[in-house]
Amino acid sequence: MTTLTETDRKTDRQIQLDVLAEIDRDWRFKHAELGVEVDDGIVTLLGTVSSYVKVAEAARIASGIPGVRAVANKLTVQVSPDLAIDDTGVAKRVRAALEWADVPDTKIETVVRKGIVTLTGTVDHGYERQAAVDAVARIAAVRSIDDHIVVKPEPRSDQAIFEEIRSALARRLPWSSKAIDLTVTNGVVTLMGTVPRFMDRHDAQLTAWMSRGVSDVQNRIVVQ
């Protein structure tokens, strides 16, 4: 477990080298495929990658590096000519991906324009929205995703939601959870507190979204 003291000693240059080294270790990325800038612990990812899934994966890798306070993802997608297909072909693949994924695909509408996929509709759970985005992200010809899916869960008491999230945070983040406060109002979860890693902040938000009855998550956790 990285302590705050260890994190504070890390320079921006050290963070930059660590992020680049971890990305370089991932077989999905070519050597020097993207650039990394760091300013006061805030990482900016720059450049062009060959698939949308790499955009999300690069951010995930960067966020897991101790010392990273936030990630600004400015990566763009340039699909290889060998993989490029027209919007009709992309739309067919999107529908097929949603049908195979664990999501209520009949509740999700899709529009494709120039490789950019827009998702709309209403689902019952936050994890269903994330599953839909993840399924579409794995399609090689997708350049970007605009997620406008709305979560409208079945009614559940705020107290029940609070207790479930508090217990889940204790299991998933046994150290950081002690510094995380939360409130639940009409299904809206607000996370507060201070954690040592950006990944802890991210994981806390995912943990909250996994609970039934959550309609939105406001993440106000600070990385220090």
DSSP secondary structure code for residue 213 in this structure: T
Burial of 117 (0-12, 13-18, 19+ CB in 10 A): buried
pLDDT score, position 81: 74
SS3 137: helix
How many CB atoms are located within 10 Å of the residue 1 CB? 9
d(CA 206, CA 138): 20
Q: Which residue ranges in the chain fall short of pLDDT 50?
A: 1-4, 7
pLDDT score, position 5: 53
pLDDT score, position 8: 55
Are 4-77 and 87-151 in the same CATH fold?
Answer: no
pLDDT, tens only, 138-189: 898 898 999 999 999 888 999 999 999 999 999 999 988 999 999 999 999 9
DSSP secondary structure code for residue 107 in this structure: G
Phi, psi of 135 (to 5 degrees): -65, -45
pLDDT score, position 62: 94
Pairing of strands 42-49, 34-39: antiparallel
Give me the CATH topology for the region 87-151. Answer: GMP Synthetase; Chain A, domain 3 (3.30.300)
d(CA 104, CA 184): 26
Architecture of the domain made up of 4-77:
2-Layer Sandwich (3.30)
The amino acid at residue 140 is A
How many CB atoms are located within 10 Å of the residue 152 CB? 10
List all residues 6 or more positions away from 75 whose beta carbon is below 8 Å from its beta carbon. 34, 45, 46, 47, 48, 49, 54, 55, 58
Element (H, E) at 180: strand 180-185
Domain 158-223 class in CATH: alpha beta
pTM: 0.73
Report yes or no: 198 and 70 within 8 Å, Cβ to Cβ. Answer: yes
d(CA 169, CA 205): 10
pLDDT score, position 94: 95
The amino acid at residue 16 is Q
Task: Delimit the domains of the chain by residue range.
Answer: 4-77, 87-151, 158-223
